[in-house]
Amino acid sequence: MEPESSAAGRLGCPKRMVFGPCGGVREDERCELAEHRCVFLDAPLVRWPGAAPDPPVRSGLLARAAEAPVVLTDLSVPAFDTAAVRRVVGVLGPVSDGLLLGEHANRPDFPPTMLAAEALAAGARLWTTLACRDRNRVVLEQELAGLAALGVDGVLCVTGDGRGPGVRPGASQVFDLDGVRLAALAAGRGLQVAVPESPEAPPRALRPARVAEKQRAGAQLCVLNHVSSPARVASFVAAARDAGATLPFVAGSPSTPTSAPPACCSAFPACTSTTTSSSGSSPRPTRGRPASPPRSRRPERCSPSPASSGSTCRAWPPTGARTTAHGSRPRWPSD
Ligand code: SF4
């Protein structure tokens, strides 16, 4: 199915999503951007109407994930700083199977293709996040074409978090497409596609099947938001498998080499910190919280912390772990 930018979003959704809900639904079921109840909470889930496209041959991270657990590390760097991109790639690239270039609602940066070119030149095996918030469909197509020409490993297709009150109030939030339609667009351009999902966000019962629908739209990898425990990851993945999802999952895991996790971790739902960087070893949880905080309390950035690295965990059912690097803002890849 070709994702039409003219497709009517569901009435009441500020992001004009067709294939909602996004990952920003608040704990009390209110919309991420408005005070009313999210309009996608009730069954039935919106199904992807087309047949799954023929996926490109798996390469890079996806090929490795078919063989063994992998580590995908957030590549978060200061904005408008290409030297920092090269420097951080030099640190994290050699200890990761792939690097994930992020996108921030409150912090503009160079265009994704430009950052990707810098990271690739520095030797990164790169996945680039592309969000629909600030780009109309034409610009999304341009970025996808550019990323394909550059030879990135893949693209993480997200709808994008809405900007908070007071953040660039004069700039419109575009949302021509949502993350699912962007995934289809990227897959149609021959790119390997990752999508996010937020197991802890309402409506929890619908979200596993949502992964299967995203796969039918073209996704080949699912990057999970932080969840309350490894057991919760396992139950979510099992439910997604029951719903028909066969793609590999990457579990979010803030990681620090110290026993004290960064201050930002306290604001995540039961996020765990690992005290090892040995591939294949199990993370030792050091801190947890049982419930997701209100969105307004989510951290804008990490406190300064020691350089961090991550490890895959063979005890977990996903095929990979995603780590949040030193100095970065742990992201919520809202879809
Ligand atoms: S929470 Fe997200 S999907 Fe639900 S109505 Fe708001 S913007 Fe739309």
Mean pLDDT, rounded, for 93-99: 96
pLDDT at residue 196 in the model: 98
Mean pLDDT, rounded, for 64-79: 94
User: How many whole angstroms from 159 Cα to the centroid of ligand 1?
Assistant: 11
pLDDT-derived band at 197, boundaries 50, 70, 90: very high
Average pLDDT of the residues of the chain: 81
Question: What pTM did the predictor assign?
Answer: 0.82
The domain ranges of the chain are 60-324
Segment 6-48, tens digit of pLDDT? 567 889 999 999 999 999 999 999 999 999 999 999 999 999 9
- 285 pLDDT exceeds 80? no
* Block residue for tokens 């201050």: 263
Count CA atoms within 13 Å of residue 205 on its CB side.
4
Strand-pair partners of 250:
223, 320
- Please give the helix or strand (H or E) that residue 215 lies within, else none: helix 207-217
pLDDT-derived band at 232, boundaries 50, 70, 90: very high
Please give the span between the terminal C-alpha atoms of the chain, in angstroms, as a whole number.
19
Q: Are 181 and 7 in contact (CB under 8 A)?
A: yes
Give the Cα separation of 61 and 76 in Å (integer). 19
pLDDT-derived band at 321, boundaries 50, 70, 90: low
* pLDDT above 70 coverage of the chain, percent: 74
- 315 pLDDT exceeds 50? no
Q: Are 262 and 327 in contact (CB under 8 A)?
A: no
Which residues sit with their C-beta closer than 6 Å to ligand 1? 13-15, 17, 20-22, 24-25, 31-33, 38-40
pLDDT at residue 247 in the model: 97
- 203 pLDDT exceeds 80? yes
Q: What residue owns the CA closest to ligand 1's atom 2?
A: 22
Contacts of 289 (CB under 8 A, 6+ apart): 228, 266, 268, 269, 270, 271
CATH 3.20.20.220 fits 60-324, yes or no: yes
Give the Cα separation of 176 and 197 in Å (integer). 20
Residue 8: how many other CB atoms lie within 10 Å: 8
pLDDT-derived band at 274, boundaries 50, 70, 90: very low
User: How many whole angstroms from 237 Cα to the centroid of ligand 1?
Assistant: 23
pLDDT at residue 279 in the model: 27
Higher pLDDT: 324 or 169? It is 169
Q: Kindly state the DSSP code that residue 266 receives in the 8-state scheme.
A: G
Contacts of 54 (CB under 8 A, 6+ apart): none
User: How many whole angstroms from 255 Cα to the centroid of ligand 1?
Assistant: 30
pLDDT-wise least confident of 8-12, 78-82, 213-217: 8-12
pLDDT-wise least confident of 10-19, 85-94, 264-273, 325-334: 325-334
Q: Which of 11, 26, 39, when mutated, tests ligand 1's pocket best, judged by the most ligand atoms within 8 Å of its CB?
A: 39
User: How many whole angstroms from 178 Cα to the centroid of ligand 1?
Assistant: 11
pLDDT at residue 333 in the model: 55
Residue 112: how many other CB atoms lie within 10 Å: 23
C-alpha R_g of the chain: 18
